[in-house]
Amino acid sequence: MRSEGEAHSLALSGRRVTCLIHRRKNQKYINLRISLEGEVIVSAPYGVSVAQIRESLEKKEGWITRHLSKAAENRVVNDPALRLLFRGRSLAVRAYSDPRRKRSVWVNEAAETIEVHTKEATRKTVLAILESFLLRQAKRHFTKRAQELSSLTGISYKRLFIRNQRTRWGSSSGRGNISVNWRAIMAPPAVQDYLVIHELAHQVHLNHSKAFWKVVKHWCPDYEDANRWLKNHALLMSLFR
């Protein structure tokens, strides 16, 4: 799914690349990043022309090309149609076509595989089945786990939402609600717990102050390792889009 913005075509290293330009009211400089999906995202102040942005990008052609290639490689390595993370375990995907069977998913932890059975095992169908499976697992797991951790910590919340966020693993609102990205079901159980505790702690401190991290550390002493895992696996949030 493409980010919103002005789309412009740019010639880099003999190929056409689409860059998306976002205009920011209070921005002073031209900033550049490569999204998890391999998009060239440009943030620029109002008043800066497309020609100026193009000139700035051409100066960083080497950097852009390298990072676009890296993003493409990461997407291949993390192709969920071939291998899928589930609760921290990397499982090889095995798809089987059987016109007599209904859609089903079976996790074989001993063999480290996840089997998908469907009438026609096309890539599109397999991905749709896996996404539906992970979403169901996420709703079931995090609904129960959030209640358990709320009771353990004594921190209450009103509602839990399972979201489809593009850049956030979770969020917490001043209205008493917490949200978790459904792709967090791919993370190890300890990381999942940290994520829920992190959002619960925001019900006490709606910031990242020392007081907030003190609450997190009390209930999750290894929070730094869990937080690092989420940062290192941010690419997972681009899957199934």
DSSP string, 153-204: HT---S-EEEE--SS-SEEE-TTS-EEEEGGGGGS-HHHHHHHHHHHHHTTT
Who wins on pLDDT, 233 or 73? 233
Residue 89 lies in a domain: yes
Say yes or no: 118 and 34 in one domain. Answer: no
Say yes or no: 66 and 94 in one domain. Answer: no
Residue 186 confidence (pLDDT):
97
Say yes or no: 38 and 127 in one domain. Answer: no
Residue 207 lies in a domain: yes
Is residue 125 over pLDDT 50? yes
Say yes or no: 59 and 95 in one domain. Answer: no
Q: Total domain count for the chain?
A: 2
Say yes or no: 34 and 107 in one domain. Answer: no
Say yes or no: 51 and 137 in one domain. Answer: no
Residue 14 lies in a domain: yes
Taken as a whole, the chain contains a residue count of 241
Name residue 17's beta-bridge partners: 10
Residue 157 lies in a domain: yes
Is residue 45 over pLDDT 80? yes
Who wins on pLDDT, 131 or 70? 131
CATH of the domain at 113: 3.30.2010.10
End position of a domain, from candidates 26, 51, 77: 77
Residue 17 confidence (pLDDT):
79
Say yes or no: 16 and 90 in one domain. Answer: no
At 127-180, the pLDDT tens digits run 999 999 999 999 999 999 999 999 999 999 999 999 999 889 999 999 999 999
Residue 180 lies in a domain: yes
CA 54 to chain CA mean position, Å: 29
Say yes or no: 70 and 102 in one domain. Answer: no
CB-based contacts of 37: which residues, under 8 Å, 6+ apart? 1, 2, 71, 75, 238, 241
Say yes or no: 67 and 123 in one domain. Answer: no
Residue 51 confidence (pLDDT):
87
Residue 1 lies in a domain: no
Is residue 25 over pLDDT 70? yes
Q: Name the DSSP letter for residue 3.
A: P
Residue 36 confidence (pLDDT):
63
- Residue pair 91/114 in contact (Cβ under 8 Å)? The answer is yes
End position of a domain, from candidates 19, 49, 77: 77
Residue 1 confidence (pLDDT):
39
Say yes or no: 48 and 116 in one domain. Answer: no
Is residue 69 over pLDDT 50? yes
Which residue has tokens 């290894």? 222
The range of the structural domain enclosing residue 111 comes to 83-238
Is residue 11 over pLDDT 90? no
Question: Max Cα separation, the chain?
Answer: 62
Is residue 3 over pLDDT 50? no
Is residue 124 over pLDDT 80? yes
CB atoms inside a 10 Å sphere around CB 29: 10
Type of residue numbered 67: H
Residue 162 lies in a domain: yes
Say yes or no: 209 and 100 in one domain. Answer: yes
Q: Report the alpha-carbon distance of residue 209 to residue 224 in Å, rounded.
A: 15
Is residue 2 over pLDDT 60? no
Say yes or no: 55 and 120 in one domain. Answer: no
Type of residue numbered 25: K
Question: pTM score, two decimals?
Answer: 0.75
Who wins on pLDDT, 211 or 64? 211
